[in-house]
Structure 1
Amino acid sequence: MNHDDLELAAEIADRVERFVRDVVVPYEKDKRRDHHDCPTDALVVELREKARSAGVLTPHILPDGKHLSQRGTALVLARTGLSPLGPLACNTCAPDEGNMFLLGKVGSDLLKDRFLAPLVAGTARSAFFMTEPAEEGGAGSDPSMMRTTCHRDGNSWVINGRKAFITGADGAHIGIVMAKAQEGACMFLVSLPDPAIQIERIPRTIDSSMPGGHAIVRLDNLRVPAEQMLGNAGEGFSYAQVRLAPARLSHCMRWYGACLRANEIATDYANRRMAFGKLLIDHEGTGFSLADNLIDLKQVELMIQWCAGVLDSGAPGGTESSMAKVAVSETLMRVADRCVQVMGGSGLTEDTIVEQVYREIRAFRIYDGPTEVHKWSLAKNIKRGWARAQA
């Protein structure tokens, strides 16, 4: 990333931060939530109109269609994360941000016109249909266990199976569906809603930042035109890898911003609240906790920038993004926990976003690969590297 690009990203990030703090933060008390406490689409539409007016809608994709570098994206997405509603307002949220990246990289002109354009414009939400129910032995952290099938039928493909924890499926306009054929894994773009895709239920989960929740879905003879396959049959896993490392890192960027804000709130509380004759900040237990937060947040920032630099170099970044995902999610969990603890009973309430950030970070330790899976993968790489060194 050259100096001019970095300056542009910093300028965009500053505009995004002003918008999130001045416009989005007041909406955190808005009552437009569904029965799982997730923001409603009406709230998202209103926020995106304000972002569009402020010139900060989809700010990581420039007017000429070019994507900011990963280091530049890190600056911008962290600022959108300063409020749980910020990524929704600015159109940098999951899974849309990752889906935009994937389509921008490997989508045909037809798929870009039909599916990418409305995502970039912020007029459509999307869902990524990969994970499957554990009770059926379906794919989770191990995608090779995929049970959803697809087969060619004339000029179409027919898909059958069940999917689980599909973020945003309820209310999405665009879906990316993974299924396996004789040739291997395949990836399809579909318009939603579709009568062949039935939401069975939406379990109540610990997190509540994403519209539509995380649905259990059945695909019953879903028919998709052949032209809506991404690439060729059997290439689905390779395309998933294109999306995987940057999407992992984007989660790190957004939740880093959320923990920056939570730490601000806890710090303000500690500098106002009296206990045992002095401010909380003057008690060593509290002051040291906030000092630890400062150290951890800087480590997170540096880890994100390091991994972003690897991706910007053109490297796949699979190993590096695994390392970053583990380090960032585990470190931010400590930060969020300390914020709750510093604020005592107030940290457990909905009066601030601190308790929500704690819940969201706890979920972050699982999605996009649990910590243990990433460590297992890293350990396998260590073993392979050792074996090569002995040869």
Structure 2
Amino acid sequence: MTAGQNRIPVNLDYAASTPMRAEALLAQREYDDSELAGVNPNSLHSLGRKAAARLEVARREIAHSFGARVRPSEIVLTNGGTEANQLALLGLAEGARQRDRKRNRVIVSAIEHDSILDNLPLLRAAGFTVDLVQPCRAGYIEPAALVELLGDDVALVSIMVANNETGVVQPIRELAAAAHTVGALFHTDAIQGYLHIPLDAAELGFDAMSVAAHKIGGPVASGALYVKTRTPLRPRIFGGGQEAGRRAGTQDLRTQLAFAAAARTLAPRVAQERTTLQALSDKLYATLTAHPRIHATMGDYAQADRLPGMVSIYVDGMDSEELIVKLDAAGFEVSAGSACSSGSMDPSHVLSAMGIGREQALGALRISFDDRVDPADLDDFAQALLSIVGAA
């Protein structure tokens, strides 16, 4: 098939959101055709009790995808990853301070998603001091850098499992252990890494972990927060006793059933899919970085612990907007490592924190895919990008 207008667009922006999996779509259709469609799972009548039972089945399956030792009672169902992150950041900080009044400081990494960073003013308004721990040039938080900031006044440390722009996986076990040495709670935003790399929330020592269904082929507006038993959490949404009083609001059984179906499908395949997708991303990195103007954002990609199915690069002498438009015309959909608004570009806060210069950061691209990718499309994409860069 020829490129451009005659080509069916190839979606290589799965890190932003993924198409729903067949199993998740089937779960929604079955719900729509059932007697439980539209039933409130908090109602006391027989259909309400049946809906509640189905919701708990979904909760158990979601809990299992967080790790074998995670209990269903430790799962708070939310309206997506953004809500889960806000509940964790604000709810855990307040809970920790309520338990110990001297704990009035929160540490987060400088490379967090905006759903964490944009809540920092709310923490400061509530009387917390916030410290940012910086990444090394390779894109991860070194445990020693976190240790330098720790003290017995820290309520919460929040550092993501893997970065959503670069795909760099953080040394999360060591970071959680460091936080616990001073009695701080540890939350991780696992939205980008969930069911793409092996994660066991209990075994890794997390107090809380956020995920979103739409990153694994589930529906949008569906997420979950793991909260370890006896971890203090102040709710952020009030108006009902749902989710054991931790999150008010009627649960959407339809989306949670689809979420559970996607999680049930992917959970047994994480290790194998990681191997397969890592090989594809390694090949793409090698092909692209052979060009002297194309560079991996984390430096030596071969030595980096990275998410499978994500490639993060920058192109010398070109900006992301130009690259995206030209790739779109060639039939490939990718995203930038920086945010575009009103015809101007600001460099990615992630790449800037890593020490990448402004001009280089403005030429960043993120290519992302999952197990449904056609390897031939990746080859075609590589040739399209190399052609665009070569012609510039």
TM over 0.5: no
Normalising by the residue count of structure 2, what TM-score does the alignment of the two structures yield?
0.25
Structure that is richer in helix per residue: 1
TM-score (ref. length: structure 1):
0.25
Identify which of structures 1 and 2 has the higher relative contact order when contacts are C-alpha pairs closer than 8 Å and 6+ apart. 2
